[in-house]
Structure 1
């Protein structure tokens, strides 16, 4: 399975990452990517930028080093109601919104609370993908969440960093279970390196291996072609991006 979109990456703006958007774009070109989603942490994460940073992404060129740039964010799930840490003014400026649980923002709770929170996040209509769901600190009931994601066309991220054992240890078994059941239900999957340094861009080998192990069809992995990714955004109700017309 070829992957040509990295849908989860960070720049120095996140406060604990080490490369610029220019460096990430160059790494993307060198590694054969067609599209790069830049998804810095939203404001409630310690060290993250003010929300103006996300509103102002409209100034980013649509292509850097011949790689298409998707303006995005990794938003923090704030509470059990599924609210995110972005004001309404930010959403029109963003192409791609990931929502994730992060321990400094949302204290781990019960399986029941995690499950309902994820459903509330999905049903808010604000989120395109759920990030690193394999985190063992946030167990949830798989079937209702994955069915809700399918019904609402929200992608499930397979996060390569979660599979390395260097971050969110213990995620590998949870990720495998999520992919197995998600494939049965028919969800869309996205793949993210979660790069915090440019050399990690497009490092997706473990994610690809997991998807292939469970025989996930390529047409349901939205990062397997630029066209699939962009058309998924249309399915989500996002406006057509004229600069990417040749990629649809």
Structure 2
């Protein structure tokens, strides 16, 4: 699917069940760069290709799936943006899919209030940020998520022994200058937490070399002050790295059990 995001031609992968009817929508948000960069046509992230076969590998025949390619990634035009831009793109992709069903007068449609959003790394941050703005999201799964500039920046400054933090700080300084917690950029690149009842699952590897588990813990503590759903939870995988390379079975078990719990509520 081609859609327009901020006036730029952007792409997304979509699957629609063959049988006509009303279906849940699963939105999958891929990882990427957490700050704007003047690069384009990014075809893979951390070894994962952004082709249809890879991004739709978990698609199920009984639901509608949407996998947006943010601006600057894959066949999408433009250059790479940060958390805010990726969230805008995903939001626009969801709206474009709704419009597609409406304009095509199709017998199939997205079931109202049954939108699941999930993502890993930057995509996890996108999923969490969307959950605070859209009213049609039913549940969220964020895996090793980027938790926003307001938490990451002070952490990076205090932990310069980490090569990832050094690279982040250098690039951010070039893009925005000195960090200002009250600036528009900081607010846009952070995740504002609002009161809600949306069930949210966060899964974090404690050996993650990119997204530190203590930052995820801090974000979760802030989230639980506002999110009153009993199924909003944080699950740690003690030996899990950023890609949870050797822990896919653990991840699927955690997700399967959680989905079962929320479906029975």
TM-score (ref. length: structure 1): 0.38
Bigger helix fraction: 1
Q: Which has the larger radius of gyration?
A: 2
TM-score (ref. length: structure 2): 0.36
